[in-house]
Amino acid sequence: MKELIEFIAHSLVEDPTQVHVTQSQRGVSHHLHLHVAKEDMGRVIGRNGRVANAMRLLLRVAAAKEGKRANLDIEEPR
């Protein structure tokens, strides 16, 4: 699941070196944090959040195939 989000984010952003995905797990639920450069936030979120919602949907489908749950947060690097 982490690789899926990394692949999608790398193809969207201008600076793929700034893309980092961290993952934590609580039981069957996975929580992923996508960190992208401030300049690329608009590309990853999309108009009215459509791209971000599509990424979340794909993540949920991939997780369901494995019998798990997953959430995605999009953040700027600190």
The pLDDT tens digits for 41-74 are 999 999 999 999 999 999 999 999 989 999 999 9
CA dist., res. 73 & res. 34, Å (int): 6
Total tally of structural domains belonging to the chain: 1
Write phi, then psi, for 41 (nearest 5 degrees).
-60, -40
* pLDDT tens profile 4-51: 999 999 999 998 999 999 999 988 799 999 999 999 999 999 999 999
What global pTM score does this model have?
Answer: 0.88
Q: What SS3 class is residue 31?
A: strand
| CATH code of residue 10 | 3.30.300.20
CA angle (37 as vertex; 18, 39 as ends), nearest 5: 135
Range of the domain at 55: 2-75
Q: What angle do the packed helices 50-65 and 2-12 form, to 10 degrees?
A: 160
